């Protein structure tokens, strides 16, 4: 969480709503929730389904993106290939995830 970001309270193994105060301490500017959290001073965007709302926002953002997208697949070497591509293309022209999201 970085200062100014919206905290998205997802319900998974743990309920994200339980971490809204922590997000505020880390600088969150607001929270997307499925119910109002009275213990928080953050502005709250309430939606019936946080996951669905987040997916719709992501879909809209992706639909508006006009750049090229490259996916790297395979059994090994994906992270190093992604890092090499970002290094070669430059951070101003290539958006890539930090680290990896492997299980």
Residue-by-residue pLDDT tens, the chain, 103 positions: 889 999 999 999 999 999 999 999 999 999 999 999 998 999 999 999 999 999 999 999 999 999 888 888 888 898 899 999 999 998 788 888 887 776 5
- Cross-strand partners of 31: 7, 44
CA 87-91-96 angle, to 5 degrees, is 80
Per-residue model confidence (pLDDT) at position 25: 94
How many other C-beta atoms can be found within 10 angstroms of the C-beta atom of residue 50?
Answer: 21
Per-residue model confidence (pLDDT) at position 103: 57
Please name each of the domains of the chain with its CATH number. 1-64 (3.40.1390.10), 66-95 (no CATH)
**Nearest alpha-carbon partner for 31 in 17, 51, 52, 11:** 17
């Amino acid at each position: 969480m970085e200062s100014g970001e919206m905290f998205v309270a997802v319900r998974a193994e743990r309920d994200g709503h339980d971490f809204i105060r922590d997000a505020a301490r880390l600088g969150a500017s607001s929270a997307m929730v499925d119910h109002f959290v009275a213990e928080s001073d953050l502005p709250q965007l309430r939606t019936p389904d946080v996951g669905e709302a987040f997916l719709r926002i992501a879909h809209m953002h992706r639909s508006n993106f006009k750049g090229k997208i490259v996916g790297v697949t395979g059994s090994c070497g994906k992270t190093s290939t992604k890092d090499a591509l970002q290094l070669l293309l430059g951070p101003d022209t290539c958006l890539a995830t930090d680290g990896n999201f492997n299980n």
